[in-house]
Chain A
Amino acid sequence: MRGSGPESDIVISSRIRLARNLAEFPFIRRCASQDRKSIEKMVHDRLQAIPGFNTLYYLRVDELAHVDRQFLTERQLISREHAEAEGARSVAIDNDERLSVMINEEDHLRIQVMKSGLDLTSAWNQINEVDDQLESKLSYAFHERLGYLTACPTNVGTGMRVSVMLHLPALVITNQIEKVFRSLQKINLAVRGLYGEGSQAMGDFYQISNQITLGKSEEELIGQVSGVVPMIIEYERKARDFLITQNREDLHDKISRAYGILCTAQTISSEETMHLLSSVRMGVNLGLIDDLAISDINKLFVETQPAHLQKLRGNELDTAGRNIERALYLRRYLQDRGKEHRDERN
């Protein structure tokens, strides 16, 4: 994400996805491979017939190399399940990578719009429009009482999942994160930690999303998520204030050391990188590091992931090779960026 958009010091991104199924086919699990091919082709053809949709990048996920599928997952354009599934399936992606339409994921269609910062309203306006356009060319499975029918009853109704990704390092350091989560669960919101390579924790990133999809309108569900986000932002800011007034030296030290390791390491794991970048990100927000921008850090989070490093290098790398490549990439990037900033100041 670009590190722009409202509240982007704490809110990384806003995302909405809609699950839709075609009326004339069984759900994916019960589709013969021939059916999957027909669905893939039919949706592809009809997508291309919509004005503005013929410029989408269209990728057959099942025909891509493993590293390319992983690359799309790292950019959050397809789900991990979509990357790893079998049979005909694809994804359509727009130019600025904000819209993606997965075909033959768990549902026939999974439409997703992602925005930088806290921006659920514009995400909803865009996805609603895309959904209307698709629906003018396709017959959706729709039930008079239950709404949009989905393969899993947890998605039925609106088929909508609204999520906001938050960076909450100060709430983690001050041990208040659990308290926040417990109160979120009481109002039917789900919280999820994020993961890097394998099962390693990805620092202090948390995703908040609606749990229910039926019985409330799309606007109400969006309102539920967007209503609590400002409160969490407020808690995080207070926790940061507390840390900086109570313990400025320790905090500054922790952040500077993290930055130092990123600038000098010769080999570094994905987990450690995420962890250190999280500290540096907070340091930039608090003005303790001034030769980097939030957009730099967000870029590094994405580009130090395994498939990105391998694409950059142009060949496959094992874990050890990736750790060396990651350290090299970080050193070069941070040196160049730091130098640019110093030049700008002089």
Chain B
Amino acid sequence: MKCQQCEKPATFHITELTGEKPHELHLCEQCAQTYLSQNPSGGMPIQPSLAGMLHQQLKVTDTAKELAKLDEQACPICGITFYEFRNQGRLGCPHDYTCFGSELDPLIVNIHGDNIHAGKHPKHHRQTSQQQTQLIQLHNDMKVAIEKEDYERASQIRDEIRKIEEGQE
């Protein structure tokens, strides 16, 4: 479904309950933010936009120059820049939680009121976050090796992946 205000996909579905009967709005994240900021008391408050929250948080903590520098920062594993994350509201890989940690952590507290998981843990889980990052890296390397038709290297990498997955060394 497209945003009612622009061409982007609508990700916010707002039900307005102030009028005589409920009124529906379908907006993208940006238009929803604009809409909600124009209607501070009216309507149903919904989950605030991620981009909006980050924007606010960054405004108070960083100068324009620092922000520009931050925007250029990229994840060494998946290549996503902080700017791309800020714009799309979606992360590129599990490692982003570590490499953008100092910016993400306050955002996570903002959203959830907490930053420590209290729920279930995978029963068979054997890897640390670091090993998981290594897994993605090895996977990328294997793809490159296969592209280069270096099958010996690819099979070495496959063994390394298997070792980590099976929880050995």
Contacts and interface: CB of A to CB of B under 8 A. Distances in A.
A139 B135 contact: yes
A190 interface: yes
B113 A212 contact: yes
Interface in A116-153: 128, 131-132, 135-136, 139-149, 151-153
Interface string A25-49: 1110110001000000000000000
Interface string B65-76: 000000000000
Nearest to A153: B108
A268 interface: no
B122 to A, nearest CB: 5
Given A141-B94, A181-B17, A135 B78 contact: no
B52 interface: no
Contact of A201 (B24, B94, B132): B24
Contacts of B83: none
A214 interface: yes
Contacts of A199: 1, 4, 24, 26
Interface stretch (B30-38, B55-63, B84-92, B148-156): B84-92
B129 to A, nearest CB: 5
B88 A149 contact: no
Interface in A216-232: 216-218, 220-221
A29 B118 contact: no
A65 to B, nearest CB: 19
A200 B21 CA distance: 13
A218 B117 CA distance: 10
A24 B143 CA distance: 12
Given A26-B78, A154-B111, A145 B26 contact: no
B122 A195 contact: no
Most chain A CB within a 10 A radius of its CB, from B24, B88, B93, B117 = B117
Nearest to B124: A136
B1 to A, nearest CB: 7
A191 interface: yes
Given A136-B124, A149-B97, A193 B118 contact: no
Contacts of B125: 135, 139-140, 142
A248 interface: no
A153 B118 CA distance: 16
Contact of B120 (A158, A193, A215): A158
Contacts of B104: 153
Nearest to B4: A199
A192 interface: yes
A213 B24 contact: no
Contacts of B46: 190
Contacts of B118: 157, 214-217, 220
Contacts of B120: 128, 131, 158, 217-218
A250 to B, nearest CB: 17
Contacts of B107: 153
Nearest to A204: B22
A152 B91 CA distance: 6
B161 interface: yes
Contacts of A147: 117, 119, 121
Most chain B CB within a 10 A radius of its CB, from A139, A195, A198, A218 = A139
B118 to A, nearest CB: 5
Given A26-B93, A157-B112, A221-B119, 12 more contacts: A23-B94, A24-B138, A26-B78, A26-B92, A131-B120, A135-B125, A144-B128, A145-B116, A153-B107, A190-B46, A193-B13, A195-B13
Interface of B: 1, 4, 13, 15, 17-18, 22-24, 26, 44-47, 50, 77-80, 88-94, 97-98, 104, 107-108, 111-125, 127-129, 132, 135-136, 138-139, 143, 161, 165
15 contacts: A23-B127, A24-B135, A26-B77, A29-B92, A30-B92, A142-B122, A142-B129, A154-B47, A191-B44, A193-B13, A193-B15, A199-B4, A212-B114, A215-B113, A215-B117
